[in-house]
Every structure is written in C-alpha cells, then in structure tokens.
Amino acid sequence: MILRYQTIIMPEWTKSPDAPTRIAILLFDRFSNLCLANCVEPLRAANTLAPRRGFDWQILTPDGAPARSSSGIEVLPHGALGGLAGCDYLFVVASYDHEGHDTAATRRALQAAARRAGVTVGLDTGPWLLASAGLLDGRRATVHWDLLDTFTERFLAVTPERARVLRDGPRMTCAGAMSALDLTLGLISDHLGMAVRLDVEALFLHGDPPVAPAREGVAVGDPLLRRALGLMRDNVEKPLQLSDLARRLSCQPRTLDRRFRAGLGAPPGTVYRHLRLAAARKLVENTRLGIAEVALRSGYDSPAALTRALRRHYGATPRDLRRG
C-alpha cells in the first residue's frame, strides 16, 4: 500500500519583500483587453494599498510595435521581447489568432525569454504558444477551455487539465480573462500576504472575497470564514466581541481561531482590526469627514486612538493619508 502525503502551505497574513517583484507582460495582437486589465489593475491596487511597492511591470510585444487588442485598443509597449534582460514572471498574453502567432520565430523568442524569467505564465491562448515552443513538455497545463480538446490532441507531451489556474514548476497556465484575476490575486497573497489580497478583493469584488489563495492544495472560499468576514464588515462601527462573533456563527471561539489561522494566516482579532483600519483609511482618503467622525465610524473611542492605530498599521497619520 502506497501512502501519499500532501504538504499544506499555510498562508501568511503579511509579507515585506526586499524589492518589488518584476513582471514582463508580452502582448500578441488581438489579445483580450479584459485579460490584461485583470493582470495589471490588481497589481496597481496592491502597490497603492501595501506598505511598500510590491510589483513593477513592463509591457512588451514581439517586435516593440504597438499591440492592438481584440476590441481595437492599441497599447504602446515599453519595448520588444528581445530586449528583456530578466524578470521574475513573464506573462504571455494571447487570445485570438493564436495559430497565426505560432511561428518558428515566436517559438525561438519564447524559448530564449523563458530562460531569462523565473516563472513563465501563459494566459488565455498563451499556453498554446508555450506548448508549441516545448515549454510545457512533461507538465500539467490548462488553456482557454474552448481550445482544450484541440490542445489535448495537438500537444501529446503536455498533460491538459480543465482548471482555472495551474502551476507546474516554473510554468503557470491560466484559462482565460476571468481566471487571470484569480492568478493575479494569488501572486498578491504569495508576495505581499493575505491582508493586502483581502484589501484588493474588497476593492474589486465589493466585499465578497474568496478567502484563500487561488492555488492547489488550499480550499478556496471557506463558508465559515466568508460569513465571519461579512459580519466583521457589517459591524465596523460597533465591533463585535469575538465570543459574540463565534456565537452568531454557531461555532466555538477556538474553532473560529483555527479556521482563520488556517485560511488567512492570522487570528480573527488581527483580521477584524485590519478591516476596521482599512475602512478608516478609505474614509480618510476619500471623504472630507473629520477624524473624530472617522474614528466613530470605524469603532475607535477617540481620534487619538485611531491616529495611533493608523500610524502603527500604515506608518502614516490621518493627515499624511489625506495628503497622499
């Protein structure tokens, strides 16, 4: 009898990278504008919400000329793929006309670029180009599901799977534009921690977040955590005691603590305080409310208490945040 043990990677609540993660985004003509936006906009938001800049990116095309999306929008790149010196992630973004892009020159260029990237990522029909270049041989991969059957028949050295996001060693593949958001949120939690990911999800998904990284081996969307986060967000002005929160969720406090640590990498109190301070920061930055009113709306007894908490959490006073 053969026993297989799976290593469970616990998420980290906060991370402080020494330097920004470098991402090169290679666009092929007729790429999906939604796919590009779902990669770049969450990264931009993460840089805004994190204590320090977490990501740098550049846009490339095969020849350095502007790329035109499937909706006719032109994007001016920073340079050509051949000029790429190195990066942590190379995103290959293709959508329509993937077979037209699949040339000997493209295959050679992708092979050379992959050697200069820590991880090579294919998005939408980008995995087709990676597979054609031999970069997915012997690996598991996904592709836009409309192409999955054809992909399976064409690339016999690749193990295809109907998944949204897959990682196998230094290769990642993503099924389409909406899956690109899953992938990018996963990168945010991997490099900046779950706290920043929750803030980005709240910004883009209006408070209905998946509450674990979008990667294998981690259960996404724990119902108990989802309900707990909803109650926390609904009770920012008058915070609940954790015992009351557990009672409303029909569970023991120690069960709540265990599920938060397993799903988010932090105890409930830490997460609750973060959500309250994130709400306070939004009010400071986006309204003209006085600090006393902001303190009241985020559950703090006084402006001084809120100011101290914001300084500890964000390294800035309300006045600094409002100026920023």
Which structural domain, as residue segments, surrounds residue 144? 21-190
Q: What is the pLDDT of residue 217?
A: 34
Q: Are residues 161 and 269 in the same domain?
A: no
The enclosing domain of 114 has a CATH number of 3.40.50.880
pLDDT of residue 323: 84
Residues 265 and 152 in one domain: no
User: Residue 167: what residue type?
Assistant: R
Report helix, strand or coil for 57: strand
Q: Does residue 15 surpass a pLDDT of 70?
A: yes
157 and 229 belong to one structural domain: no
Predicted local distance difference test score (pLDDT) of residue 203: 83
* Inside any domain, residue 75: yes
**51 and 183 in one domain?**
yes
- Pairwise CA distance, residues 185 & 4, whole Å: 29
Residue 276: predicted pLDDT:
95
Q: Are 30 and 69 in contact (CB under 8 A)?
A: yes
Tell whether 180 is covered by a domain. yes
Number of domains in the chain: 2
Of residues 41, 137, 26, the one with CA closest to residue 82: 26
Question: Among 319, 75, 36, 23, which residue's Cα sits nearest to residue 188?
Answer: 23
For the segment 261-280, the average pLDDT, to the nearest whole number, is 93
Answer yes or no: is 13 within a domain: no
Task: Report the amino acid identity of residue 67.
Answer: A
pLDDT at 215 over 50: no
Mean pLDDT along residues 240-258: 95
pLDDT at 6 over 60: no
Strands (E), 100-170: 117-124, 140-141, 159-160, 165-168
Is residue 3 one of the residues assigned to a domain?
Answer: no
For residues 133 and 25, state if they share a domain.
yes
Judge if 112 and 252 occupy the same domain. Answer: no
Residue tagged 């992909």 (tokens):
151
SS3 173: strand
Positive or negative: CA dihedral 122, 128, 133, 139: positive
In this structure, are 288 and 181 located in the same domain?
no
Quick count: other Cβ atoms within 10 Å of Cβ 17? Answer: 14
Do 232 and 155 share a structural domain?
no
The answer to whether 127 and 173 have CB atoms below 8 angstroms apart is: yes
CATH number of the CATH domain containing 251: 1.10.10.60
- Point out which residues pair with 109 in neighbouring strands: none
Q: What's the pLDDT tens digit per position in 180-212?
A: 999 999 999 999 999 999 999 888 764 444 444
The last residue of a domain, from among 190, 212, 242: 190
Same domain assignment for residues 32 and 155: yes
Question: Same structural domain for residues 146 and 231?
Answer: no
Q: Which residues pair with 167 in a beta bridge?
A: 172
Q: How far apart are CA 52 and CA 4, in angstroms?
A: 40
Query: What's the whole-number mean pLDDT along residues 235-256?
Result: 95
**pLDDT per position as a tens digit, 70-110:** 999 999 999 999 999 999 999 999 999 999 999 999 999 99
Of the three residues 134, 167, 190, the one that is the final residue of a domain is 190
The per-residue pLDDT for 51 is 85
